[in-house]
Structure 1
Amino acid sequence: MITKNDINYLIDLSVKAGKAILDIYDSDDFGVEKKSDNSPLTKADKASNEIIERGLKKSFPDIPILSEEGKEIPFEERKNWKRFWLVDPLDGTKEFIKRNDEFTVNIALIENSTPVFGVIYAPAIEQQTNEDRAITTINQSANQINNNAMINTLNEWLHSNNDFSGVIYLGGIGIGAYKITSSGITPIKVSALTSSDELNVVQSRSHSGEEENQFYSNYKIKESLSKGSSLKICLVAEGKAEIYFRSGPTWEWDTGAGHAILLSAGGYFVNKDKSELVYNKKIIKNFGFIVSAFPIR
């Protein structure tokens, strides 16, 4: 069970990692390398991972960690894990290198193969828009009774971190889903639209193709939105889009935190064959998925 103190600590940890990323983002040297799968690795990935792993080991010594930039852990060692941290210290490294601001820090708690808590921090994203502020007021009023204790917890954190910038999304079983900016706390929820309505859909800046286009042809599309990293999942979680289809493979750490937030916001997250998406698989890849505000039939 995630406690109030745990939540505050995990937010602090993600922000600390995000600040380390920004220090390198503002420099002239990203220290870009190529990993064995030809994906990029930067000094920011390493710095963020060191902060997160050290922080998790200090406060949660009995919970193992599976991180993109951590050591490779054989399935024989992982297979009996009932609970573990799933970390992507810099999701959207390509977006980071392109300097388009759409990269995140992702931390998820997985229990019995299911994400039960997630925090996503986008340190370089600008302030919320006037539209977001209006939604904040409405959502806080509508959710005042059910979410008052959680909002108070998050407001306490925000008031004690008055230099905070960027955007945080978080959510978990039993606590709801939220968006944090320096302007306040917004309870978030998926859109109430259904598959027969005109929908906003999400497409990746870095990964898109014919299979995505074929999938979306089954729906009436109002607008196609583009984002990098796990911010695509957050667009559905906060009700700005209704569906996001990814045909190609991803790693479990790419989706764990966003999956937890989406479930907490009332959404659905399945493999592209519509089966349940689970974690700590023998091969820690997802081979395509669907994120949606409604069940996919």
Structure 2
Amino acid sequence: MLNQVIKTAEEAGQKILEFYETDVEVITKEDDSPLTKADLAAHHIIVNALKEIDPETPVISEESGIPDYEERRSWESFWLVDPLDGTKEFIKKNGEFTVNIALIKGDKPVLGVVYVPAFDVMYYGDETIGSYKREGDNKAVKLETETFQRSEPARIVVSRSHGDDSTQKKLSELGIEVSEEVPSGSSIKFCLVAEGKADLYPRLGPTMEWDTAAADAVYRYSGKNGEKYSPLSYNKETFKNPYFLLGMDEFVDVK
């Protein structure tokens, strides 16, 4: 099934690139976030494919809305999709946007695929085989990294679209010294921590479950010594994530 999901992400990514080469027409959604034809085209490709791959399992996509909690609270598993994460990066044409597909069981992702179509980079994580990164036609490389130790200075991932000075200040209050900021867009930020190019991803702003699920799986299963701790959980009554600090082996309150 993983290979089928990877293929689906690639197909959606190639469709997105068709729009990427043209003038991007932007619609503003009710929450003021941007929406393009590329988001919708990728959404339809992924949802239709998942219904064929796994017809018994419900699918939630950012572009399809969230079923009532009373309906989904009893679900054992469901697919969680962000067809185009980083729409702002897509509009800016900097390449840092992703296709995200995750399988949630209980309250955690057990499989996640993150595809970066502009660079033809594929990340995927699975609870049974671990996490991998594949660049172009090269062989996939296993990701095996350790969690951050508070005694060391930290390289932190910061958002290209949402960055500000408050993050470093908050980490300093928590006793964490920042040695470097690594700017990135979309769910790639999780993947940079998973592969060891950054130590921490502090998020002091709003995200939704579909923004994080696939990349969270890549992070969780990139552990050198087993599954890594993640502060995030899924299928909550509200789909909003709390503020979080990813990369530690314990919960750290960053409110």
Among 62, 72, 80, the residue aligned to 1:78: 72
**What displacement does 1:69 show?**
0.6
**What displacement does 1:176 show?**
0.6
Q: Which runs of 4+ in 1 moved over 6 A?
A: none
What corresponds to 1:292 in structure 2? 247
**What displacement does 1:239 show?**
0.8
Q: Which has the larger radius of gyration?
A: 1
Please state if 1:102 is matched with 2:63.
no
Within a 5 Å distance, the mapping from 1:146-295 to structure 2 comes to: 166-181=120-135, 182-191=137-146, 193-217=148-172, 218-266=175-223, 267-270=228-231, 277-295=232-250
**What displacement does 1:41 show?**
0.2
Please give the alpha-carbon distance, in whole angstroms, between the structure 2 residues aligned to 1:192 and 1:84.
28
Instruction: Report the AA paired with residue 151 of structure 2.
Output: S
- Could you list the runs of 5+ residues in structure 2 that have no partner in the other structure? none
Secondary structure of the corresponding residue to residue 150 of structure 2: coil
Please state if 1:14 is matched with 2:12.
no
Task: Tell me the alpha carbon deviations over residues 162-182 of structure 1, each in whole angstroms, 9 at most, x when there is no partner.
Answer: xxxx10000111211000112
Instruction: Report the AA paired with residue 205 of structure 2.
Output: G
Please give the alpha-carbon distance, in whole angstroms, between the structure 2 residues aligned to 1:86 and 1:193.
28
Please state if 1:26 is matched with 2:17.
no
Instruction: Report the AA paired with residue 48 of structure 2.
Output: R
- Alignment TM-score, normalising by the size of structure 2: 0.92
- Could you list the runs of 5+ residues in structure 1 that have no partner in the other structure? 1-5, 126-165, 271-276
Q: 1:251 to 1:193 in 2, by over 3 A?
A: closer
What corresponds to 2:61 in structure 1? 67
What corresponds to 1:41 in structure 2? 35
Q: 1:191 to 1:222 in 2, by over 3 A?
A: farther
Q: 1:294 to 1:76 in 2, by over 3 A?
A: closer
Which range moves more in the overlay, 205-214 or 237-246? 205-214
- Alignment TM-score, normalising by the size of structure 1: 0.79
Please give the alpha-carbon distance, in whole angstroms, between the structure 1 residues aligned to 2:73 and 2:150.
37
**What displacement does 1:78 show?**
1.3
Secondary structure of the corresponding residue to residue 226 of structure 1: strand
Instruction: Report the AA paired with residue 107 of structure 1.
Output: I
Secondary structure of the corresponding residue to residue 66 of structure 1: strand
